[in-house]
Amino acid sequence: MNMREEIEAAAARYPDQRSAIMPALLIAQKEHGHLPGPVLEEVADILNVERIWVYELATFYTLFHTEPVGMFHLQLCDNVSCMLRGSEDLLRHLEAVLGIKKGGSTPDGLFTLSTVECLGACEVAPVMQVGDDYHGDLDIARINALLDRLRAAAGQTTGADLTAATPPGE
Ligand code: FES
């Protein structure tokens, strides 16, 4: 099923096409990796809704990306429970080892680093979401191990030996 067919199938479950914008954007983002203007317009055209409605949702929610993101989007929670359990230190560490600031992406396209509001998993704070996966009870050692696993996974996907790459600052 192509993107148009997937969006049309999702939209058929809603009496009002405007209600289908969120699932349609998720489908489009999965297909394209992010949501540039032409993709937003295509979604609006498929649903036959006002383009501004699609733009509004795509730019309001942090789960949608109108700019390209790395292969792994690191979304570190910086809300109260996570902050009390050290997320600020984790953010500083991630910025140092990746050589980027919050909101940035590594030049190799592997990682984008963001902070987000409560991920709803405060019982295992501090928490970071990577793609669809949650990683909780994080500390610096676990962050380093996670980055190593992600680099190894990227190496398997791309065929490049990324596991030996030493992050800046280590
Ligand atoms: S405050 Fe971080 S998951 Fe709730």
The pLDDT tens digits along the chain (170 residues) read 899 999 999 999 999 999 999 999 999 999 998 999 999 999 999 999 999 999 999 999 988 999 999 999 999 999 999 999 999 999 999 999 999 999 999 999 999 999 999 999 999 999 999 988 999 999 999 999 999 999 999 986 655 444 333 333 33
Of residues 37, 42, 45, 38, the one with CA closest to residue 17: 45
pLDDT score recorded for residue 157: 62
How many angstroms separate the alpha carbon of residue 118 from the centre of ligand 1? 4
Q: Is 53 found in the same domain as 97?
A: no
Q: Distance from the CA of 1 to the center of ligand 1, in angstroms?
A: 36
- Separation in Å, CA 17 to CA 14, 44, 148: 6, 10, 43
Verify whether ligand 1 is closer than 6 Å to residue 81 (CB atom): yes
Is there an atom of ligand 1 within 6 Å of 118 CB?
A: yes
**Same domain as 51, residue 24:** yes
**Pair (49, 87) in one structural domain:** no
Looking at the fold, whether 105 and 32 belong to one and the same domain comes out as no
Provide the number of structural domains found in the chain: 2
80 with 140, same domain?
yes
CB neighbour list of residue 14: distance below 8 Å, 6 or more residues apart: 20
**Ligand 1 binding pocket includes 122 (Cβ within 6 Å):** yes
Would residue 135 count as lying in a domain?
yes
- Output the pLDDT for position 161: 43
Residue 169 lies in a domain: no
User: Is 167 inside a domain boundary?
Assistant: no
From the CA of 29, how far away is ligand 1's center (Å)? 25
132 alpha carbon to ligand 1 midpoint, in Å? 16
Identify whether residues 123 and 103 lie together within a single domain: yes
Q: What range does the domain containing 22 cover? A: 3-60
Are residue 79 and residue 134 in the same domain, yes or no?
yes
Q: CATH code at 132?
A: 3.40.30.10
Query: For residues 152 and 163, is the Cβ–Cβ distance under 8 A?
Result: yes
- Does 82 lie in the same domain as 49? no
| Assigned domain for 79 exists | yes
127 lines ligand 1 (CB under 6 A): yes
Q: Which atom of ligand 1 is nearest to the CA of 121?
A: 3
Rounded-to-integer distance, Cα 87 and Cα 81, Å? 9
Q: What is the pTM of this model?
A: 0.77
State whether 102 and 147 are in the same domain: yes
The CATH number linked to 24 is 1.10.10
pLDDT of residue 63: 84
Residues 41 and 79 in one domain: no
